[in-house]
Amino acid sequence: MPEQDRYYNRELSWLSFNRLVLEQMKDKSLPLYERIKFMAIYSSNLDEFYRVRVASYQSLMELHSTHIEHLDYSPQHILDEIKKEVNSREIEYEKTFYEDILPELKQAGLVLHQNQKLGPEHLSFLKDYFMNEIMPEIQPVLLSTKGDVLSFLQDNVIYLAIRMQKKRPSHADKEYYAVIKVPTHHLTRFVRAPKLKKRYLFFFLEDIIRHNLDLIFPGFIIEDAYTIKVSRNADLMIEDEFSGNLLDKLRNSLRQRKTGFPARFMYDRKIPDEMLAVLKLAFNIDESDFMPVGRYLNMNDFFDLPNPVGKKFELAPVKQLRDPYLDSQDSILTAIKKKEVLLHFPYQTYDYVLRFFNEAALDPDVEEIKTTQYRVATNSAIVNALITAARNNKKVTVFVEVKARFDEAANIKFADQMREAGIHVIASIPGLKVHAKAAIVVKRNRRKKNGHETLAFVSTGNFNEKTAKQYSDKGFFTSDPRITNDLEKLFLYLETPIERYKFKHILVPRFNMIEQIKSKIKREIKNVQAGKKGYIILKMNSIEEQDMIEALYEAGQAGVKIDLIIRGICCLRPDMPFSPNITVTRIVDKYLEHARVYAFFDDGNWDVYISSADFMNRNLHRRVETAVPIFDKKLRTEIIEVLKLQLKDNTKAQKLDKNICNVPKKKSKSKDEPEYRGQIDTYLFLEKKNLMQE
């Protein structure tokens, strides 16, 4: 077998994950609006995939053939496989939308207008709404049919392409073409109209424009109109991060992102060939980027589809659990000094993290706060707390990763706000991304030899109170000096990245992470060779790095049992002769599985880390990450129990086969076998733990 067959392609493995998202859209056991949410997620995922990953392959195709020959794969072959898979799923997606979602919405009492007959009341509403709300936003552009290039289609924006003729008979045989930007940036995509036969009636914004095209082009006969859009390369082209002002370069590059080269041209498949040819010339679109789709684009807008028909069509909200110990303490900082606390989001409330930052901002004994920022919430409560701390004369240092993709503009804005408030802001390290999620608070304590003590919060996910309600992550409060001393070194490194530091307990890429993880894998191999049990559980978003994969292959061949819980990209191929004893589980459910956990059996004395790092090339070689050990035996056991609940999942979990296809976990034929669902069972486990503590 060729060597490259030891690793599955990264992009195709990601598409198999998105296929599982599509399956949730089709799952009729879920409430209707939950399925609609997955419909939006699928569309949003693909948009980013084309703007980032497909665009990178297209960039490779621009290289001279001698450069491509040195690759161990064919970029064109991968692009062909991607198009084949995406086109196949697009048909499935549209079929589900038109044959399942729309009829079920109608049955529930909501009509998304298609071709239903309208009465005078509705026609009057459409005209009034168009004239009052839409018309001021409309800027139609006539297209040249002579091949003059007009490269102004903005990234990820819906346009209507219109074909028409002049009303004067002498010009009746000449076709004219125009495009109109659909103003979803200013107006809602779904416009509520008067009820239709006692059902709620909504129109797509572009359909209201279609109804009124004669008002935009009064001298023309409108023949037809079709939706189109371009997905453009989202890479920020910064050739040199090491000289000049990186922030200024990022700002300039962000302005250019909207006009990056096309990665995909989506169009209504009903568009006539001659009209498509005009658009191809007018916008200089390569035919290889063509993607025929249905009538509607940007289906991620369905995140905001109103629900006037009742909460029974949504998942019932689950009350977030509280931590009895933290609730019993007047001060969260004092509580952390007494006892380490592990939190599981979103099952448990994120309020404790906000309390941590707010209390640190106000406590007169707190001298200093240091934290990282990768993606924070709009109107971030954490950023507000840091600004309050600075205004209270505390020394505050924030490392802002302004290169966090698609959050660059927001992070630059936050960096500017914090700098104006007196916070010491470090904005990115040239050549590296800082993906670690860590914060330390330094307090005065006369009982300590050095006169202070350090408290810390580390997480597997971003410091973002909004996504903490949707992403499944772990957070950890500690004052253990073995961890806090290393975290202090980490922040010193972020301030002076040319220095080298020795981390004794936490794992940091480019310092000790790869070596330490490989050492722990080898320890499991040695235990098996000594007649003991060898077992590894790794949970993360993605696994790609080939040295790590090879280390796991070696362990599996030696007899170590390896359970991987991988949500997305998986380049490791299970069920192959070179990968015995390795299983890969993928879970797509209500919450986005986002936690990273490394667990090694270590002859019964579990060695457990929570981490910000996936086993990706970028994470292990080009980012600053952290993996923090959990020393407390009870907390280690708690993490392992939650991992085992996910491995038992036979409802939402899928096993990956050697071709990274999703294979449902088979339930036995016995009627008595219970159904396991990892996310629900995790909530029940934590709820039971709370009851035992009370």
Would you please indicate which residues are annotated as catalytic (active-site) residues? 435
Angle at 89 between CA 83 and CA 94, to 5 degrees: 125
Contact partners, residue 536, CB within 8 Å, separation at least 6: 521, 524, 552, 555, 560, 561, 562, 563, 599, 600, 601
Coil/strand/helix, residue 688: helix
Residue carrying the six token digits 């079709």: 226
| 69, two tokens | 């020959």
**H-helix or E-strand containing 690?**
helix 678-693
Spatial distance between the Cα atoms of 640 and 606, rounded to a whole number of angstroms: 9
Spatial distance between the Cα atoms of 37 and 172, rounded to a whole number of angstroms: 46
Spatial distance between the Cα atoms of 326 and 339, rounded to a whole number of angstroms: 10
Spatial distance between the Cα atoms of 544 and 572, rounded to a whole number of angstroms: 7
Q: Cα 159 vs. chain centroid, distance in angstroms?
A: 26
475, 457 Cβ separation under 8 angstroms: yes
559, 581 Cβ separation under 8 angstroms: yes
In sequence order, what DSSP letters do the residues of 505-547 get, joined into one string? SSB-TTTTHHHHHHHHHHHHHHHHHTTS--EEEEEES-B--HH
Q: Are strands 471-478 and 452-459 parallel, antiparallel or unpaired?
A: antiparallel
Find, among 502, 544, 536, the residue nearest to 643 by Cα: 536
Burial class (CB in 10 A: 0-12, 13-18, 19+), 673: exposed
In sequence order, what DSSP letters do the residues of 569-618 get, joined into one string? -B-B--SSTT-TTEEEEEE-SSSEE--EEEEE-GGGS-EEEEES--BSHH
Coil/strand/helix, residue 442: strand
Spatial distance between the Cα atoms of 177 and 119, rounded to a whole number of angstroms: 30
Find, among 272, 376, 302, the residue nearest to 32 by Cα: 302
Spatial distance between the Cα atoms of 204 and 337, rounded to a whole number of angstroms: 55
Asked if the bond preceding 183 is cis, omega within 30° of 0, the reply is no
Task: Count Cβ neighbours within 10 Å for each residue of 227-265 and write b for 16 or more, e otherwise.
Answer: bbbbbbbbbbeeeeeeeeebbebbeeeeeebeebbbbbb
Spatial distance between the Cα atoms of 317 and 470, rounded to a whole number of angstroms: 12
